[in-house]
């Protein structure tokens, strides 16, 4: 870091003092929180004002009010300090950063499939910790500093190694109450039953009904939802029949909350992949990807 950069970067104590004073709108409360004197807070804020070149607080008697410049800085600085706190908490909880895998994953996949299986992974690999962040689209693995990503879609992520661990298989499901009320034995009994759609799979019902040669059934009618988790809740509430990835509803089916309406599955053109930088060699990453492939194989069998 050169002298010019140092000139415009305040001390951590000055940043913390300003952030606390801005959050409390009080030098007194900031001093109490940080276990400093009020005059120390005032000095730290003056340091920040000298570096920024603008007044950050208006002082009216005992009160301090953020200026426009202070408000902008407080918003940006607060989020950055939160990021630093999260980074340090992850480092402390992991103990050894070298053994912590940084994984970017899809939120629904992580919640409904991956996390319930993690106890088995930690039992087999007690020395490996995992830090999860959610991502929905491909990104630069190296730039965002992830060890691996879980990707849904095509095998088209450049400059990476992509290992498929399962295809997307969609099945029609409904609640026992709905099946009883509608007197449904197979999907072809559901000529008038509402279909539940997921916005990210707008043609799924069309493709499925075409595959089973169910003609004359309107496939675009029904209720639309943004997330698979919402469709699952709607199915459980007997709002209609959902066409859902098999892996997402394994638990609900096994516990009797949902019933598979037809054994015919729709295998889509998309799959789930473990994605790593193309030149990466890491035993922990290999262990995690291999474990996921084994789990997916067991679930598919």
Residue 40: strand, helix, or coil: helix
The percent of residues above 70 in pLDDT, for the chain, comes to 92
CB burial string 220-251: b at 16+ within 10 A, e below: eebeebeebebbbebbbebbbbbbbbbbbbee
DSSP state for residue 194 in the 8-state scheme: P
pLDDT in tens, 21-35: 999 999 999 999 999
pLDDT at 67 over 50: yes
Q: Which two tokens stand for residue 149?
A: 């990503």
**Helix-, strand-, coil-residue percentages of the chain, each rounded to 5:** 50, 20, 30
pLDDT bracket for residue 95 (50, 70, 90): low
pLDDT in tens, 240-274: 999 999 989 988 999 999 999 998 999 998 999 99
**Separation CA 204–CA 208 (nearest Å):** 6
Instruction: Give yes or no for a contact between 244 and 228, defined as CB atoms under 8 angstroms apart.
Output: yes
174 backbone φψ class: left, alpha, beta (φ>0; ψ -120 to 50): beta
Instruction: Give yes or no for a contact between 133 and 102, defined as CB atoms under 8 angstroms apart.
Output: yes
Q: Which two tokens stand for residue 241?
A: 């029949």
Read off the pTM. 0.64
The fold for domain 3-94 equals Arc Repressor Mutant, subunit A (1.10.10)
CATH code 3.40.190.290 region(s) in the chain: 97-301
CATH code 1.10.10.10 region(s) in the chain: 3-94
Domain 97-301 top-level CATH class: alpha beta
């Amino acid at each position: 870091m050169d002298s010019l950069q140092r000139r415009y970067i305040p001390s951590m104590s000055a940043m913390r003092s300003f952030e606390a004073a801005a959050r409390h709108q009080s030098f007194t409360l900031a001093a109490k929180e940080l276990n400093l004197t009020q005059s120390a807070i005032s000095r730290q804020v003056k340091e920040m004002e000298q570096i920024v070149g603008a007044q950050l607080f208006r002082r009216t008697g005992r009160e301090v009010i953020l200026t426009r410049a202070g408000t902008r800085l407080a918003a940006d600085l607060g989020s950055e300090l939160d990021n630093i706190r999260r980074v340090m908490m992850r480092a402390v909880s992991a103990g050894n950063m070298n053994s912590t895998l940084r994984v970017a994953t899809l939120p629904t996949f992580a919640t409904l499939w991956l996390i319930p299986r993690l106890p088995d992974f930690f039992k087999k690999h007690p020395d490996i910790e995992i830090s999860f962040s959610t991502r929905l689209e491909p990104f630069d693995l190296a730039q965002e500093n992830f060890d691996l990503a879980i990707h849904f879609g095509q095998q088209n992520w450049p400059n990476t190694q992509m290992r498929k661990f399962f295809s997307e298989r969609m099945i029609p499901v409904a609640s026992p109450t709905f099946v009883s009320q509608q007197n449904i034995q197979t999907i072809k009994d559901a000529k008038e039953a509402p279909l539940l759609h997921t916005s990210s799979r707008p043609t799924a019902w069309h493709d499925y009904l075409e595959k089973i040669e169910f003609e004359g059934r309107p496939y675009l009618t029904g209720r639309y939802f943004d997330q698979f988790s919402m469709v699952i809740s709607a199915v459980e509430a007997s709002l209609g029949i959902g066409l859902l990835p098999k892996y997402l509803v394994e638990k609900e089916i096994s516990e009797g909350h949902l019933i598979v309406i037809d054994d015919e599955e729709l295998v889509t053109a998309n799959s789930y992949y473990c994605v790593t930088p193309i030149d990466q060699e890491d035993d922990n990453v290999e262990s995690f990807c291999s474990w996921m492939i084994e789990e997916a194989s067991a679930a598919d069998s």
